[in-house]
Amino acid sequence: MINVGIIGYGYWGPNLVRNFAELAGCKVVAIADLDPEKLALAQRRFPAARTTTDVNELIADPSIDAVVIATPVRSHFKLGMAALKADKHVWLEKPMTETAEQARQLVEEADRRGKTLHVDHTFVYTGAVRKMGEIIARGDLGKILYYDSVRVNLGLFQHDVNVISDLAVHDFSILEYLLKEHPVAVSAAGINHFPNTPENLAYITLFYDSSIIAHVSVNWLAPVKVRQLLVGGSSKMMIYDDLQNSEKLKVYDKGVSFTDDPKKIHEMRVGYRTGDMWAPTIDGSEALRIGGQHFLDCIQNKKTSITDGRLGLKVVEIIEAATASMQNKGKTVEIKQLEMAS
Amino acid sequence: MINVGIIGYGYWGPNLVRNFAELAGCKVVAIADLDPEKLALAQRRFPAARTTTDVNELIADPSIDAVVIATPVRSHFKLGMAALKADKHVWLEKPMTETAEQARQLVEEADRRGKTLHVDHTFVYTGAVRKMGEIIARGDLGKILYYDSVRVNLGLFQHDVNVISDLAVHDFSILEYLLKEHPVAVSAAGINHFPNTPENLAYITLFYDSSIIAHVSVNWLAPVKVRQLLVGGSSKMMIYDDLQNSEKLKVYDKGVSFTDDPKKIHEMRVGYRTGDMWAPTIDGSEALRIGGQHFLDCIQNKKTSITDGRLGLKVVEIIEAATASMQNKGKTVEIKQLEMAS
Amino acid sequence: MINVGIIGYGYWGPNLVRNFAELAGCKVVAIADLDPEKLALAQRRFPAARTTTDVNELIADPSIDAVVIATPVRSHFKLGMAALKADKHVWLEKPMTETAEQARQLVEEADRRGKTLHVDHTFVYTGAVRKMGEIIARGDLGKILYYDSVRVNLGLFQHDVNVISDLAVHDFSILEYLLKEHPVAVSAAGINHFPNTPENLAYITLFYDSSIIAHVSVNWLAPVKVRQLLVGGSSKMMIYDDLQNSEKLKVYDKGVSFTDDPKKIHEMRVGYRTGDMWAPTIDGSEALRIGGQHFLDCIQNKKTSITDGRLGLKVVEIIEAATASMQNKGKTVEIKQLEMAS
Amino acid sequence: MINVGIIGYGYWGPNLVRNFAELAGCKVVAIADLDPEKLALAQRRFPAARTTTDVNELIADPSIDAVVIATPVRSHFKLGMAALKADKHVWLEKPMTETAEQARQLVEEADRRGKTLHVDHTFVYTGAVRKMGEIIARGDLGKILYYDSVRVNLGLFQHDVNVISDLAVHDFSILEYLLKEHPVAVSAAGINHFPNTPENLAYITLFYDSSIIAHVSVNWLAPVKVRQLLVGGSSKMMIYDDLQNSEKLKVYDKGVSFTDDPKKIHEMRVGYRTGDMWAPTIDGSEALRIGGQHFLDCIQNKKTSITDGRLGLKVVEIIEAATASMQNKGKTVEIKQLEMAS
Has residue C6 got a pLDDT over 80? yes
pLDDT at A47: 81
pLDDT at C262: 60
Distances B173 to B120, B130, C195 between C-alpha atoms, Å: 10, 12, 65
**Which secondary-structure segment (H or E) carries C13?**
helix C13-22
Helices and strands, counts by H and E, chain D: 10, 15
Convert the pLDDT of each residue in A71-104 to its tens digit.
999 999 999 999 999 999 999 999 999 999 999 9
Q: Determine the Cα–Cα distance for residues C247 and C239; give it in Å rounded to an integer.
A: 10
Q: Determine the Cα–Cα distance for residues C57 and A32; give it in Å rounded to an integer.
A: 46
User: CB-CB: which of D215, D239, D266 is closest to C217?
Assistant: D215
Has residue C188 got a pLDDT over 80? yes
Q: Would you call D279 and A276 a contact, using CB atoms and an 8 Å cutoff?
A: yes
Low-confidence ranges of chain A (pLDDT < 50): none
pLDDT at A139: 96
pLDDT at C196: 84
Instruction: Looking at the complex, report in whole angstroms how far the Cα of residue C141 sits from the nearest Cα belonging to chain B.
Output: 17
Interface partners of chain B (CB pairs < 8 Å, 3 or more) are: A, C, D
Instruction: Looking at the complex, report in whole angstroms how far the Cα of residue C240 sits from the nearest Cα belonging to chain B.
Output: 14
pLDDT at D304: 97
Question: What ipTM was assigned to the predicted interfaces of this complex?
Answer: 0.92
Convert the pLDDT of each residue in D80-137 to its tens digit.
999 999 999 999 999 999 999 999 999 999 999 999 999 999 999 999 999 999 999 9
Side-chain half-sphere of A62: how many Cα atoms within 13 Å?
A: 0
Q: Would you call B330 and A187 a contact, using CB atoms and an 8 Å cutoff?
A: yes
pLDDT more than 90, % of chain B: 84
Instruction: Looking at the complex, report in whole angstroms how far the Cα of residue A279 sits from the nearest Cα belonging to chain D.
Output: 5
Q: Would you call A270 and B331 a contact, using CB atoms and an 8 Å cutoff?
A: no
> Stretch C144-160: mean pLDDT, rounded?
89
Q: Would you call C245 and A243 a contact, using CB atoms and an 8 Å cutoff?
A: yes
β-pair partners for C277: B279, C252
Convert the pLDDT of each residue in C272-328 to its tens digit.
778 999 999 999 999 999 999 999 999 999 999 999 999 999 999 999 999 999 999
Q: Determine the Cα–Cα distance for residues D93 and D308; give it in Å rounded to an integer.
A: 12
Please report residues of A whose CB lies closer than 8 A to that of B230: 222-223
Q: Determine the Cα–Cα distance for residues B88 and B108; give it in Å rounded to an integer.
A: 14
Query: Interhelix angle for C127-137 vs C169-179, to 10°?
Result: 30
pLDDT at C48: 85
Distances D93 to D51, D169, D296, D311, D315 between C-alpha atoms, Å: 20, 11, 16, 13, 13
Convert the pLDDT of each residue in B255-301 to its tens digit.
887 776 666 555 556 777 789 999 999 999 999 999 999 999 999 99
Convert the pLDDT of each residue in D5-16 to its tens digit.
999 999 899 999
Greater confidence (C116 vs C336) lies with C116
- Answer for the pair A198, A158: CB distance below 8 angstroms, yes or no: yes
**Which secondary-structure segment (H or E) carries C216?**
strand C213-219
Interface partners of chain A (CB pairs < 8 Å, 3 or more) are: B, C, D
pLDDT at C263: 60
Query: Interhelix angle for C76-85 vs C100-113, to 10°?
Result: 10
pLDDT at A337: 76
Instruction: Provide residues of A within 8 Å CB-CB of chain C.
Output: 224-225, 243, 245-246
Least trusted range by pLDDT, from A18-22, B103-107, C173-177: A18-22
Has residue B115 got a pLDDT over 80? yes
Interface partners of chain C (CB pairs < 8 Å, 3 or more) are: A, B, D
What DSSP character marks residue D264?
A: G
pLDDT at D38: 94
What domains are defined for chain B?
2-121+287-307 (3.40.50.720), 124-284+318-334 (3.30.360.10)
**pLDDT band per the 50, 70, 90 thresholds, residue D266:** low
- Answer for the pair D201, D190: CB distance below 8 angstroms, yes or no: yes
Please report residues of B whose CB lies closer than 8 A to that of C277: 246-247, 278-279
Q: Determine the Cα–Cα distance for residues C137 and C151; give it in Å rounded to an integer.
A: 25
Has residue D210 got a pLDDT over 60? yes
Distances C247 to B231, B251, C282, D50 between C-alpha atoms, Å: 19, 12, 8, 56
* The one-letter amino acid at A261: D
> Stretch C60-81: mean pLDDT, rounded?
97
pLDDT at B255: 83
Has residue D255 got a pLDDT over 60? yes
pLDDT at C155: 74
Q: Determine the Cα–Cα distance for residues C82 and C87; give it in Å rounded to an integer.
A: 9
- Mutate one of B245, B247, B248, B281 to test the D interface: name it (highest D CB count within 10 A): B245
Interface contacts (A, B; CB < 8 Å): 154
Instruction: Looking at the complex, report in whole angstroms how far the Cα of residue C239 sits from the nearest Cα belonging to chain B.
Output: 14
Convert the pLDDT of each residue in C254-276 to its tens digit.
988 777 666 655 555 677 778 99
Instruction: Looking at the complex, report in whole angstroms how far the Cα of residue B30 sits from the nearest Cα belonging to chain A.
Output: 28
**pLDDT band per the 50, 70, 90 thresholds, residue D276:** very high
User: CB-CB: which of B224, B225, B245 is closest to D225?
Assistant: B245
pLDDT at D85: 98
pLDDT at C103: 97
Cis peptide before C14 (omega within 30 of 0): no
Convert the pLDDT of each residue in D40-56 to its tens digit.
989 888 888 999 999 99
DSSP letters for D4-16: EEEE--SSSHHHH
Q: Determine the Cα–Cα distance for residues B170 and B125; give it in Å rounded to an integer.
A: 11
Query: Interhelix angle for D13-22 vs D36-45, to 10°?
Result: 30
Instruction: Looking at the complex, report in whole angstroms how far the Cα of residue C278 sits from the nearest Cα belonging to chain B.
Output: 4
Distances B27 to B32, B91, D342 between C-alpha atoms, Å: 15, 15, 62
pLDDT at A3: 98
**pLDDT band per the 50, 70, 90 thresholds, residue B26:** very high
CA angle A37–A38–A41, rounded 5-degree value: 90
Q: Determine the Cα–Cα distance for residues C145 and C258; give it in Å rounded to an integer.
A: 14
Phi/psi for D200 (5° steps) reads: -105, 0
Average pLDDT, chain D: 93
Q: Determine the Cα–Cα distance for residues D174 and D124; give it in Å rounded to an integer.
A: 6
Please report residues of A whose CB lies closer than 8 A to that of D281: 274-276
User: CB-CB: which of B224, B232, B329 is closest to A221?
Assistant: B232
Q: Which of these, A282, A169, A259, lies nearest to A216 by C-alpha position?
A: A169
Q: Would you call C278 and B276 a contact, using CB atoms and an 8 Å cutoff?
A: yes
Convert the pLDDT of each residue in A222-270 to its tens digit.
999 999 999 999 999 999 999 998 899 999 999 887 776 666 555 556 7
Closest D-chain CA to C189: D205
Closest D-chain CA to C220: D256
β-pair partners for B240: B229, B249
> Stretch B61-84: mean pLDDT, rounded?
97
> Stretch B40-64: mean pLDDT, rounded?
93
- Answer for the pair A182, A314: CB distance below 8 angstroms, yes or no: yes
Convert the pLDDT of each residue in D158-191 to its tens digit.
778 999 999 999 999 999 999 999 999 999 999 9
Please report residues of D whose CB lies closer than 8 A to that of A244: none
- Answer for the pair B237, A222: CB distance below 8 angstroms, yes or no: yes
Convert the pLDDT of each residue in B179-206 to its tens digit.
999 999 999 999 999 888 899 999 999 9
Please report residues of A whose CB lies closer than 8 A to that of C244: none
The strand order across the sheet containing A50-52 reads A50-52, A26-32, A2-7, A66-69, A89-93, A117-120
> Stretch B224-233: mean pLDDT, rounded?
96
Closest D-chain CA to B223: D246
> Stretch C65-76: mean pLDDT, rounded?
97
> Stretch C67-79: mean pLDDT, rounded?
97
Q: Determine the Cα–Cα distance for residues A227 and A246; give it in Å rounded to an integer.
A: 14
pLDDT at B273: 79
User: How far separated are the first and last CA of chain B, in Å rounded?
Assistant: 29
DSSP letters for B74-122: GGHHHHHHHHHHTT-EEEEESS--SSHHHHHHHHHHHHHHT--EEEE-G
Q: Would you call D224 and B246 a contact, using CB atoms and an 8 Å cutoff?
A: yes
pLDDT at A262: 60
pLDDT at A245: 87
Please report residues of C whose CB lies closer than 8 A to that of B277: 246-247, 278-279
Q: Would you call A225 and C243 a contact, using CB atoms and an 8 Å cutoff?
A: no
Sign of CA pseudo-dihedral D129, D131, D137, D141: negative
pLDDT at C160: 82
Sequence-separated (6 or more) residues with CB below 8 Å from residue B180: none
pLDDT at C47: 81
